[in-house]
Amino acid sequence: MIVAIIVGLLAAGGVYLVLQREMLRIALGFALLSHAVNVLLVAAGGTGRRDQPLDGAVDPQTTADPLPQAFVLTAIVIAFAITVYMLALSVVGRRDDDTRDLSDAARSEVVASDDPLDVAEIARAYGAAAPEIHKEPTP
Protein backbone atom coordinates (compact mmCIF):
# COMPACT_ATOMS: atom_id res chain seq x y z
CA MET A 1 0.00 0.00 0.00
CA ILE A 2 2.69 2.45 1.07
CA VAL A 3 4.85 1.30 -1.81
CA ALA A 4 1.95 1.95 -4.19
CA ILE A 5 1.63 5.49 -2.87
CA ILE A 6 5.36 6.02 -3.33
CA VAL A 7 5.10 4.83 -6.93
CA GLY A 8 2.20 7.21 -7.50
CA LEU A 9 4.05 10.16 -6.03
CA LEU A 10 7.17 9.51 -8.04
CA ALA A 11 5.16 9.07 -11.23
CA ALA A 12 3.21 12.26 -10.66
CA GLY A 13 6.35 14.29 -9.98
CA GLY A 14 8.08 12.75 -12.97
CA VAL A 15 5.22 13.43 -15.35
CA TYR A 16 4.97 17.04 -14.21
CA LEU A 17 8.68 17.61 -14.73
CA VAL A 18 8.99 15.98 -18.15
CA LEU A 19 6.23 18.25 -19.43
CA GLN A 20 8.28 21.34 -18.64
CA ARG A 21 10.45 23.27 -21.06
CA GLU A 22 13.91 23.08 -19.56
CA MET A 23 15.93 20.03 -20.51
CA LEU A 24 17.32 19.75 -17.00
CA ARG A 25 13.81 19.47 -15.59
CA ILE A 26 12.91 16.91 -18.22
CA ALA A 27 16.00 14.89 -17.29
CA LEU A 28 15.12 15.08 -13.60
CA GLY A 29 11.57 14.04 -14.49
CA PHE A 30 12.92 11.00 -16.27
CA ALA A 31 14.96 10.18 -13.18
CA LEU A 32 11.80 10.27 -11.04
CA LEU A 33 9.89 8.17 -13.58
CA SER A 34 12.70 5.60 -13.54
CA HIS A 35 12.46 5.46 -9.76
CA ALA A 36 8.73 4.91 -10.05
CA VAL A 37 9.12 2.06 -12.50
CA ASN A 38 11.95 0.47 -10.54
CA VAL A 39 9.98 0.51 -7.31
CA LEU A 40 7.02 -0.93 -9.20
CA LEU A 41 9.20 -3.75 -10.51
CA VAL A 42 10.52 -4.62 -7.09
CA ALA A 43 6.99 -4.44 -5.74
CA ALA A 44 5.98 -6.93 -8.41
CA GLY A 45 8.19 -9.43 -6.59
CA GLY A 46 6.10 -8.86 -3.49
CA THR A 47 6.66 -6.64 -0.47
CA GLY A 48 5.62 -9.26 2.04
CA ARG A 49 8.92 -11.16 1.89
CA ARG A 50 11.84 -8.90 2.71
CA ASP A 51 14.86 -11.09 3.50
CA GLN A 52 17.96 -10.49 1.38
CA PRO A 53 18.49 -13.24 -1.20
CA LEU A 54 22.04 -13.80 0.03
CA ASP A 55 24.29 -16.27 1.79
CA GLY A 56 22.24 -19.30 1.00
CA ALA A 57 19.36 -18.01 3.15
CA VAL A 58 16.87 -19.56 0.85
CA ASP A 59 13.53 -19.77 2.55
CA PRO A 60 11.15 -18.82 -0.23
CA GLN A 61 8.54 -17.92 2.38
CA THR A 62 10.54 -14.96 3.69
CA THR A 63 13.16 -14.17 1.04
CA ALA A 64 12.54 -11.47 -1.53
CA ASP A 65 12.14 -12.49 -5.17
CA PRO A 66 15.59 -12.03 -6.77
CA LEU A 67 14.43 -11.90 -10.39
CA PRO A 68 12.84 -8.42 -10.33
CA GLN A 69 15.84 -7.22 -8.38
CA ALA A 70 18.16 -8.28 -11.17
CA PHE A 71 15.90 -6.53 -13.68
CA VAL A 72 15.88 -3.37 -11.61
CA LEU A 73 19.64 -3.39 -11.16
CA THR A 74 20.02 -3.46 -14.93
CA ALA A 75 17.33 -0.82 -15.29
CA ILE A 76 19.03 1.53 -12.86
CA VAL A 77 22.26 1.44 -14.79
CA ILE A 78 20.48 1.99 -18.12
CA ALA A 79 18.47 4.82 -16.60
CA PHE A 80 21.75 6.33 -15.46
CA ALA A 81 23.03 6.21 -19.03
CA ILE A 82 19.84 7.88 -20.28
CA THR A 83 20.06 10.55 -17.59
CA VAL A 84 23.65 11.35 -18.44
CA TYR A 85 22.78 11.59 -22.12
CA MET A 86 19.86 13.92 -21.44
CA LEU A 87 22.04 16.02 -19.19
CA ALA A 88 24.52 16.33 -22.06
CA LEU A 89 21.63 17.45 -24.26
CA SER A 90 20.79 20.16 -21.75
CA VAL A 91 24.12 21.91 -22.29
CA VAL A 92 24.19 21.98 -26.10
CA GLY A 93 21.38 24.48 -26.58
CA ARG A 94 21.78 28.01 -27.84
CA ARG A 95 21.93 29.93 -24.58
CA ASP A 96 20.34 27.66 -22.01
CA ASP A 97 18.43 24.39 -21.85
CA ASP A 98 15.09 25.74 -23.03
CA THR A 99 13.40 23.36 -25.49
CA ARG A 100 10.60 25.55 -26.82
CA ASP A 101 9.28 24.89 -30.29
CA LEU A 102 10.60 27.15 -33.03
CA SER A 103 7.32 28.83 -33.79
CA ASP A 104 7.36 31.53 -36.45
CA ALA A 105 7.70 34.31 -33.91
CA ALA A 106 10.52 32.63 -32.07
CA ARG A 107 12.23 31.84 -35.34
CA SER A 108 12.19 35.43 -36.53
CA GLU A 109 13.53 36.45 -33.14
CA VAL A 110 16.39 34.02 -33.46
CA VAL A 111 17.09 34.99 -37.04
CA ALA A 112 17.23 38.60 -35.98
CA SER A 113 19.97 37.81 -33.52
CA ASP A 114 23.54 38.38 -34.56
CA ASP A 115 24.73 35.17 -33.03
CA PRO A 116 26.38 33.37 -35.94
CA LEU A 117 25.71 30.01 -34.36
CA ASP A 118 21.98 30.70 -34.30
CA VAL A 119 22.02 31.82 -37.90
CA ALA A 120 23.90 28.74 -38.99
CA GLU A 121 21.57 26.52 -37.06
CA ILE A 122 18.45 28.08 -38.49
CA ALA A 123 19.94 27.91 -41.96
CA ARG A 124 20.51 24.21 -41.53
CA ALA A 125 17.02 23.56 -40.30
CA TYR A 126 15.13 25.83 -42.65
CA GLY A 127 17.65 26.13 -45.48
CA ALA A 128 15.46 26.31 -48.57
CA ALA A 129 12.55 28.09 -46.93
CA ALA A 130 14.45 31.11 -45.69
CA PRO A 131 17.01 32.25 -48.26
CA GLU A 132 18.02 35.39 -46.41
CA ILE A 133 19.38 33.21 -43.65
CA HIS A 134 22.14 31.94 -45.88
CA LYS A 135 24.02 35.19 -45.56
CA GLU A 136 26.36 33.94 -42.92
CA PRO A 137 28.60 36.63 -41.58
CA THR A 138 32.20 36.01 -42.44
CA PRO A 139 34.67 36.40 -39.62
Partner 1 sequence: MLPVLLGLVVLLALAAPLLGRVMGREAGWPLAAGLAALAAWVGLAPPPEGTTWSVPWIPGIDVALRLRADGLGVLFLVLVLGVGALVLAYSARYLARGPHPGFYGLMTGFAAAMTLLVLTDDLIVLFVAWEMTTLCSFFLISRTGPQAHAPAVRTLLVTVGGGLCLLGAVIAVAVRTGTTQLHAALQHEAWQSDPAFAGAVAALVAVAAFTKAAQFPFHAWLPDAMVAPTPVSAYLHAAAMVKAGIYLLLRFSAALADVPVWTVLLVGIGLLTSVMGAVFALQRNDLKELLAYSTVSQLGLIVATIGIGTPEALAAASVHTLAHALFKSAAFMVVGILDHSTGTRDVRLLGGVGRAMPWTSVILVLSAASMAGLPPLAGFVSKEAILASFVEAPTPAGTALAVVVAVGAVFTFAYCARMVLRTLPGTASADIPRKPHEEGPGLLVPALLPALAGVVIGLAAWSLDDLAATAASAAAGEETHPHLALWHGLTVALALSMGVWVLGGLLAWKAARVERALDRRLFPITGVQAVAAWQRGTIALGVRVGDLTRSDAPARHLAVPFVGTVVIAAVALGSVGGLGPSLTHVEGTDWLLLAVVAAGVATVVRARSRLGAVVTVGIVGFGVALLFFTLGAADVALTQLLVEVLTVVVIVLLLRRLPRTFARPSRGRAAGAGVLAVVTGLVAAAGTWALTGRREMSPAGRYFLENVYADTGGTNVVNTILVDYRALDTLGELTVLGLTGLVIAVLLDATRILPTKEDAEPRLIRTGPLADPGPNGVFTRATSRLFAPVMVLVSLWFLLRGHNAPGGGFIAALVAASGFALAYLAAAGDADRSKVAFRLVGSGIGIAVLTGLAGLADGSFLRPLHADVLGVHLTSAVVFDVGVYLAVIGVVVAALDLLGSEPPPRRTAPPPRPAAPRPAPAQPEPVAPGKESA
Burial (CB < 10 A; 0-12, 13-18, 19+), residue 131, is exposed
- Least distance between partner 1 and beta carbon 21 (Å): 7
How many residues touch partner 1 (CB under 8 A)?
92
Assess 110 for contact with partner 1 (CB under 8 A).
no
Beta partners for 22? Answer: 98
Write the single-letter amino acid at 102: L
Give the contacts of 63 (CB within 8 A, at least 6 positions apart): 49, 51, 52, 53, 57
**Distance between CA atoms of residues 11 and 91, nearest Å:** 25
- Considering only the C-alpha atoms of the chain, give the largest distance between any 2 of them, rounded to a whole number of Å: 74
- Least distance between partner 1 and beta carbon 132 (Å): 18
Assess 20 for contact with partner 1 (CB under 8 A).
yes
- Least distance between partner 1 and beta carbon 119 (Å): 10
The residue among 61 and 112 lying less far from partner 1, judged by its C-beta, is: 61
- Least distance between partner 1 and beta carbon 109 (Å): 15
- In the region spanning residues 22 to 81, those forming contacts with partner 1, defined by CB under 8 A, are 22, 24-26, 28, 31-32, 35-36, 38-40, 42-56, 58, 60, 63-70, 72-74, 76-81
